[in-house]
Amino acid sequence: MLLLKDLNIVCSKKDILALPRKKLLINTLNAHSFNVAQHDERFAKALVGGDALIPDGLSIIKACGWVKAKSRPVERIAGWDLFCLEMERLNETGGRCFFMGSSEKVLDLIQKRAKEVYPNISVLTYSPPFKPEFSEDDNKAIIRAINEAKPDLLWIGMTAPKQEKWAFEHWDELQIDCHTGTVGAVFDFFAGTKRRAPLWWQTHGLEWLYRLFMEPRRMWQRYVLGNPLFVWNVLRQKFFA
């Protein structure tokens, strides 16, 4: 079980910028990932085993207050926020960024947009096989591509919990010295293949509802069933854990 009160969660965007510039694994935590981690031990281990955990959702911020957690985030830091902070900083100095995940189509769109938005960043990509579990040869090929690129910033986007598990379980094999973020939907947002919720929805904690409207068939279980489950999981930890 993932205990919210014991997690070390980054409290603000300022704290993100204060993280040391070295090999660090940065994961995001939202209501859905919290729910999944209650019964997926590998996922829970991957979230706790990273170097930084950011609060991707107003629900996480409120829940930390309810259970009197040792970490009390003061602002939401979505995967998109992490992406923008890191990319803008790298663009100031110039360097290499590696995107691992998604389809060739999405990665091509990412490269084209990055040339316009972040002209000082050289973008390298790798599209892994689309399958539930990678073979040993698949993993070796992915790791080889990342290590040969020697990136200054690494993004892994294969949706949760697959991306977090993969990054954590292969972390020691990655010969890199940079921040690594597991950011899922950010690949599609930046490529323009999916639209992020308008700012009003984001600031009022309703981005989940926007995503439900946009993709009801794919998202209804995550939110219609998942949101009440999250409340139950938090209350259970507050009173019984």
DSSP string, 91-118: HHH-EEEEEEES-HHHHHHHHHHHHHH-
pLDDT of residue 159: 87
Token pair 């316009």: residue: 116
Q: What's the confidence (pLDDT) of residue 208? A: 87
Is 3 strand, coil or helix?
Answer: coil
Per the structure, how many domains does the chain have?
A: 1
Q: How many CB atoms lie within 10 A of CB 55?
A: 27
For the chain, give the percent of residues with pLDDT over 70. 100
Q: Which burial class, exposed, middle or buried, applies to 230 when counting CB atoms under 10 A from its CB (0-12, 13-18, 19+)?
A: buried
| Whole-number Å distance between alpha carbons of 47 and 164 | 7
Residues contacting 138, CB < 8 A, separation 6+: 128, 129, 131
pLDDT tens per residue, range 181-207: 999 889 999 999 998 889 888 888 889
Domain span at 29: 4-240
Q: Could you read off the pLDDT of 12-52 as tens digits, one per residue?
A: 999 999 999 999 999 999 999 999 999 999 999 999 999 99
Exposed, middle or buried, 131 (CB in 10 Å: 0-12/13-18/19+)? exposed
Residue 71: strand, helix, or coil? coil
